[in-house]
Amino acid sequence: ETPVLFKQELQNEEAKEGKQVRLTCELSKPGTPVKWMKGDTVLHASEKYELKQHGTVAELIIRDVKSVDA
């Protein structure tokens, strides 16, 4: 089985505090589970984080951005 690769890697994004930011990556295989992490912490869907996946594209939306989200 071929390994899953990033077709489009995660890019740095900037946002003003209190706004939201969208991080996107594209994988070589649709439906591959994606785990979003900040350091060693796995991020889960909540009021702060929205996780979406459509085919090969995975998105993380961070709401109410603060400096600690960097």
pLDDT digits (tens, 9 = 90+) for 43-64: 999 999 999 999 999 999 999 9
Give this prediction's pTM. Answer: 0.87
Q: Is a pLDDT exceeding 90 seen at residue 65?
A: yes
Q: What is the pLDDT of residues 21-46, one digit of tens each?
A: 999 999 999 988 999 999 999 999 99
Predicted local distance difference test score (pLDDT) of residue 8: 86
Q: How far is CA 64 from CA 12, 19, 21, 49, 69, in A?
A: 17, 5, 9, 9, 10
Of 27, 21, 23, nearest in space to 37 by CA: 23
Predicted local distance difference test score (pLDDT) of residue 9: 84
How many Cβ atoms are within 10 Å of 51's Cβ, its own excluded? 15
CA-CA distance, 27 to 1, in Å (whole number)?
15
Q: What is the CATH number of domain 6-62?
A: 2.60.40.10
Residue spans of the domains in the chain: they are 6-62
Q: Where are the alpha helices (DSSP H) in 3-44?
A: none
